[in-house]
């Protein structure tokens, strides 16, 4: 039997939805396999219309696929992925394609791609965003892997991806781990975006006394303008929701400890090793960590805050300031995220089209937004743009919004309301645009205690000062 053009291994929520999505598209016949038989039986029984070809062993699965065999793994990331790859390699042949659609850490994808390539089989790490709903109706897909595998895989992935303005939200990101790298940064940006929205909500609530449902109206209004995005839209819905049991706003009943599955931390760890300051993403990740230490928060609750109650005189003006601060901070968060992709591409030798990345995020994924068209425009204008925030559109927006942004950060600081993502984004902005930074003093300190040397503004070379003894007798030594 050689009937299926694509197979899915792993039929939990993501795998079964992706398999259904694939089966619903013209031209696809889908083979399905799961380690334990029950999920396969259930999927096939519940969806006869899909015409799945069920397999109950890896041999049967391989036999049901036409060549080059193409299989998407959707299992628990980590050891589960390695276990499935080991089995598929035994039954696949050179030229076949194994796709990992799970949330793998990109260095694992680089390692797996290298090992699988040695067998002649192609391995593609593909980031898939959009959760269960996206998997079923159209996700944003970020595949890495070889050019050869893209020839077969491209049309299949295009058939199931979300569509934005007529274009499928999938592009070949780059070789080996590039797809999972970009998916990781996508998730990091998502952390920053969510934290910024949460800070905006907190400031408005504590500054104006508006109820969650009144603030939902504010977000609904914002969703009609430059902030229009899925995250703003769902924020309005979350704020409008009342708890069925108590009748209170649901947001007041939910425990204020944010969870995380680790992709934010990966983005920050990777940025640290690349030397790329993604302070918005880092603060968002740390804000979740801080919230999740109730034992520390309980003892620290006795520490003092400002004496005066926080209340703004003009609620509408304050809300407009917060809107502008949110937009400015968001520009910085995305600029930092794209900077990390640029640095990752340089480090790992990937050719990544940053404009194409922004376009495939316009639909299907969590950070989908109109805003991404502006990013695509910026890279269209200048493909090698060193800082996204300096492109014409974003520089103008920052110029318009910076006064409001500063007022909001000052107000938050004086009121004792934590706004780590708003304020760190502003600090990054000011650091980036500064003519001169106190890094000169840091270099002096480093040279003092560690003879780490420094460079001068007025001549070439590397210098070290002899700091001991009479400090007026400093001596500059060109160590070249």
Ligand X SMILES: NC(=O)c1ccc[n+]([C@@H]2O[C@H](COP(=O)([O-])OP(=O)(O)OC[C@H]3O[C@@H](n4cnc5c(N)ncnc54)[C@H](OP(=O)(O)O)[C@@H]3O)[C@@H](O)[C@H]2O)c1
The bridge status of strand 463-465 relative to strand 476-478 is antiparallel
Q: Does 13 sit near ligand X (CB under 6 A)?
A: yes
HEC string for 36-49: CHHHHHHHHHHCHH
Q: How far is the CB of 10 from ligand X (least distance, A)?
A: 4
Instruction: Please say which residue, 36 or 468, places its beta carbon nearer to ligand X.
Output: 36
Q: How far apart are CA 233 and CA 416, in angstroms?
A: 28
Region from 7-15, 194-202, 383-391, 466-474 binding ligand X, contact rule CB under 6 A: 7-15
103 binds ligand X (CB under 6 A): yes
Q: Which of 148, 155, 153, 100 is nearest to 124 (CA)?
A: 100
Residue 132 in contact with ligand X, rule: CB under 6 A: yes
Interface of this chain with ligand X, residues 59 to 78, rule: CB under 6 A: 74-77
Three-state SS sequence of 379-442: HHHCCCCCCHHHCHHHHHHHHHHHHHHHHHHHHHHHHCCCCHHHHHHHHHHHHHHCCCCCHHHH
365 binds ligand X (CB under 6 A): no
Q: Is residue 11 involved in binding ligand X (CB under 6 A)?
A: yes
In DSSP terms, which residues pair with 98 in a beta bridge?
A: 71, 123
Nearer to ligand X, 266 or 428 (CB): 266
Query: CA 226, CA 366: separation in Å to the nearest integer?
Result: 17
Cβ-closest residue to ligand X?
102
In the shown chain, the binding pattern of residues 341 to 360 toward ligand X, with x for contact by CB under 6 A and - for none, equals: --------------------
Nearer to ligand X, 190 or 321 (CB): 190
Q: Which of 262, 6, 18 is nearest to 128 (CA)?
A: 18
Q: Counting contacts by CB under 6 A, is residue 12 touching ligand X?
A: yes
Beta bridge partners of 477: 464
Smallest gap from Cβ 301 to ligand X, in A, equals 34
Mark whether 90 is an active-site residue: no
Nearest distance from C-beta of residue 16 to ligand X, angstroms: 8
Q: Is 15 in the site for ligand X (CB under 6 A)?
A: yes
How many residues bind ligand X (CB under 6 A)? The answer is 23
Catalytic residue, chosen from 39, 87, 113, 190, is 190
E-only strand ranges, 113-251: 122-129, 140-143, 163-164, 167-168
What end-to-end distance do the CA atoms of the chain give, in Å? 71
For the CB of residue 189, give the shortest distance to ligand X in the complex, in Å.
15
Nearer to ligand X, 178 or 417 (CB): 178
Q: Does 157 bind ligand X (CB under 6 A)?
A: no
**428 vs 8: CA distance, rounded Å:** 44
User: Taking CB under 6 A as the rule, does residue 35 contact ligand X?
Assistant: yes
- The 10 Å Cβ neighbour count of residue 109 is 27
Q: Which is nearer to ligand X, 103 or 358 (CB)?
A: 103
**Should residue 41 be labelled a site residue for ligand X when binding is judged by CB under 6 A?**
no
Long-range (24+ apart) CB contacts under 8 A made by 255-259 are: 256/291, 257/291, 257/292, 257/294, 258/287, 258/288, 258/291, 258/292, 259/288, 259/292
When asked if residue 131 is in the footprint of ligand X (CB under 6 A), the reply is: yes
Q: In degrees, to the nearest 5, what angle opens at C-alpha 351 toward C-alphas 346 and 352? A: 95
The answer to the question of residue 185 lying near ligand X (CB under 6 A) is no
The least distance separating ligand X from the CB of residue 84, rounded to whole angstroms, comes to 5
- Which span (34-42, 217-225, 416-424, 470-478) binds ligand X, by CB under 6 A? 34-42
Query: Minimum distance from CB of 209 to ligand X (Å)?
Result: 36
CA distances from 400 to 25, 115, 342, 413 (A): 46, 51, 27, 22
38 CB burial (10 A radius; 0-12, 13-18, 19+):
exposed
Q: Of the residues 39, 183, 210, 330, which is catalytic?
A: 183
CB atoms within 10 A of CB 132: 14
Q: Does 179 bind ligand X (CB under 6 A)?
A: no
Q: Are 149 and 97 in contact (CB under 8 A)?
A: yes
The answer to whether residue 214 is catalytic is no
Q: Is 337 in the site for ligand X (CB under 6 A)?
A: no
Q: Which is nearer to ligand X, 11 or 164 (CB)?
A: 11
- Residues designated catalytic: 183, 190
Residue ranges that bind ligand X, judged by CB under 6 A: 10-15, 34-36, 39, 74-77, 79-80, 83-84, 102-103, 128, 131-132
């Amino acid at each position: 039997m050689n009937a299926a053009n694509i197979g899915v291994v792993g039929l939990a929520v993501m795998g079964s939805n992706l398999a259904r999505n694939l089966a619903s598209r013209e031209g696809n016949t889908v083979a399905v396999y799961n380690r334990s038989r029950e999920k396969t039986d259930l999927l096939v029984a519940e969806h006869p219309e899909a015409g799945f070809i069920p397999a109950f062993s890896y041999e049967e699965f391989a036999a049901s696929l036409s060549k080059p065999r193409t299989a998407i793994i959707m299992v628990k990331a980590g050891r589960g992925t390695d276990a499935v790859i080991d089995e598929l390699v035994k039954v696949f042949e050179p030229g076949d394609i194994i796709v990992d659609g799970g949330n793998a850490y990109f260095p694992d994808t680089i390692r797996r791609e290298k090992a699988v390539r040695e067998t002649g089989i192609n391995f593609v790490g593909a980031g898939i965003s959009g959760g269960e709903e996206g998997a079923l109706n159209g996700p944003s897909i970020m595949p890495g892997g070889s050019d050869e595998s893209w020839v077969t895989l491209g049309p299949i992935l295009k058939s199931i991806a979300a569509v934005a303005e007529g274009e499928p939200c999938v592009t070949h990101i780059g070789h080996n781990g590039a797809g999972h790298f970009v998916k990781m940064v996508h998730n990091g940006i998502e952390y920053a975006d969510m934290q910024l929205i949460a800070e905006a909500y907190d400031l408005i609530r504590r500054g104006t006394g508006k109820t969650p449902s009144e603030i939902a109206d504010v977000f609904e209004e914002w969703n009609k303008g430059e902030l229009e995005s899925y995250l703003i839209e769902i924020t309005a819905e979350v704020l409008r929701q009342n708890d069925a049991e108590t009748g209170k706003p649901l947001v007041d009943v939910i425990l204020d400890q944010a969870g995380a599955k680790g992709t934010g931390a990966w983005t920050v760890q990777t940025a640290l090793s690349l030397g790329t300051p993604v302070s918005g993403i880092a603060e968002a990740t740390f804000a979740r960590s801080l919230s999740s230490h109730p034992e520390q928060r309980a003892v620290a609750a006795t520490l003092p805050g400002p004496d005066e109650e926080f209340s703004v005189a003009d609620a509408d003006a304050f809300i407009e300031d917060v809107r502008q601060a949110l937009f400015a901070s968001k520009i910085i968060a995305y600029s930092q995220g794209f900077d990390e992709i640029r640095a990752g591409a340089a480090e790992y030798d990937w050719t990544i089209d940053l404009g194409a990345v922004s376009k495939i995020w316009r639909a299907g994924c969590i950070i989908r937004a109109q805003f991404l068209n502006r990013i695509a425009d910026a890279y269209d204008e200048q493909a090698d743009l060193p800082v996204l925030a300096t492109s014409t559109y974003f520089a103008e927006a920052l110029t318009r919004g910076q006064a409001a942004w500063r007022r909001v950060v000052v107000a938050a600081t004086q009121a004792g309301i934590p706004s780590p993502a708003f304020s760190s984004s502003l600090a990054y902005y000011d650091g980036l645009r500064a003519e001169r930074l106190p890094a000169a003093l840091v270099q002096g300190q480093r040279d003092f205690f560690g003879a780490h040397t420094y460079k001068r503004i007025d001549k070439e070379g590397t210098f070290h000062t002899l700091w001991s003894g009479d400090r007026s007798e400093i001596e500059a030594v060109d160590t070249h």
